[in-house]
Amino acid sequence: MYVKVGIILLLSVGILYMVFLQTKIYQYSHQEVPDQADYLIVLGARVKGEEPSLSLQYRIDAAAQYLLRNEKTIAIASGGQGPDEGISEALAIKRGLVKLGVEESRVLLEDQSTSTYENLLYSKELITEEKGTGIIVSNGFHLYRAILMASDQGLDVTGLAGETPTISIIQSHIREYAALTKLFLDRQWN
């Protein structure tokens, strides 16, 4: 009997935790973004050869739409080159933005990072207005964690969500729940 109650209690806590995470993910992916932000950081994602993955393309599309409406905002394309990628994620982002009409001179490259934490750390070095208005662009499921990490690094940012490819919604969210749990535990122990 005690085992059964323990299992039910554990499952209930797990479900509540997942509901909490999903609520936060939803809230952070539906923020109102300010006009004429000082900077916009586009977080990298997988590049296939020299072409952005669908996840990355959705980030590029969202960033381009904002940048074309807000001509004072500079963009930081952030992401290094993985062993199976033909070019850096940052270069794929820059090419994609330029292809969609964003002036090349408005796009700075941060092409050394290998994680979300490093995306933000290295991008911060390119920001001249550290206390300025900033936006992070990623897929909706990723923004909550990215904004928490940016806050830990002293950046006050809002999230701009690109779509999440339908085929990867479940997998992306499950991985994000694990990554958020790791972030919470790391913050607790540091």
Per-residue pLDDT tens digits of the chain, which is 190 residues long: 778 888 888 999 989 999 999 999 999 999 999 999 999 999 999 999 999 999 999 999 999 999 999 999 999 999 999 888 999 999 999 999 999 999 999 999 999 999 999 999 999 999 876 668 999 999 999 999 999 999 999 898 999 999 998 888 889 989 999 999 999 998 877 6
Q: What is the pLDDT of residue 129?
A: 65
Pairing between β-strand 134-139 and β-strand 39-43 as defined by DSSP bridges:
parallel
Give Cβ neighbours of residue 169 (< 8 Å, ≥ 6 apart): 141
* pTM of model > 0.75: yes
The Cα 8–Cα 5 span in angstroms is: 5
Question: What is the per-residue pLDDT for 7?
Answer: 86
Domains of the chain, residue spans: 2-189
What pLDDT, on a 0 to 100 scale, did the predictor assign at position 5?
80
Q: Which CATH superfamily groups domain 2-189?
A: HUPs (3.40.50.620)
pLDDT at 188: 76
pLDDT for 128? 76
The confidence score (pLDDT) of residue 23 equals: 94
How many CB atoms are closer than 10 A to CB 124?
18
pLDDT score recorded for residue 190: 65
